[in-house]
Amino acid sequence: MAECIFCKIARGEIPSKKVFENDQVIVFHDIKPVAPVHVLIVPKKHVSDLLSLEQDANGPAIAWTLFQAAAEAAGKLGVDKKGFRLINNCGEDGGQTVDHIHLHLIGGKPLGEGLI
Ligand code: AMP
Ligand code: ZN
């Protein structure tokens, strides 16, 4: 996906404040953080959203890679002891603004029990 902003970040064509990356995933700080810790966990393969991932032959592997990377990022960012929240926005009502699947990892302060 030539014009996808997260594909460009994954290819290094747009700078990002990277936490880490491997062959399959890149983790970088959100440009508009909503909490002291707010990073995005993004597969390097372009998959638009959760519904597309479910149709992808590699969907299970990619999904697990995202969760593994989230756990690794939590440790690197020091929120593994006190906890954090993972969010996936899907589609219009879900508030998805970048059509390349990603998890938000948010933490660094008590987030409360409410979801919205
Ligand atoms: P979503 O609304 O779930 O699709 O999340 C997209 C997120 O990407 C938002 O929280 C944006 O602040 C973030 N974002 C957009 N462009 C960039 C960028 N160039 N670098 C880092 N984060 C970005
Ligand atoms: Zn993409």
Query: pLDDT digits over 61-98, tens only?
Result: 999 999 999 999 999 999 999 999 999 999 999 999 99
CA angle centred on 56, ends 7 and 104, rounded to 5°: 50
Strand spans (E) along the chain: 18-21, 25-29, 37-43, 84-87, 103-107
Does the CB atom of residue 31 touch ligand 1 within 6 A? yes
Does the CB atom of residue 17 touch ligand 1 within 6 A? no
- The candidate with the shortest Cα–Cα distance to 116, out of 100, 91, 93, is 93
Asked if residue 1 has pLDDT above 80, the reply is no
* pTM higher than 0.85: yes
Active site residues: 102
Q: What is the mean pLDDT of residues 46-61?
A: 98
Ligand 1 atom index nearest CA of 16 = 20
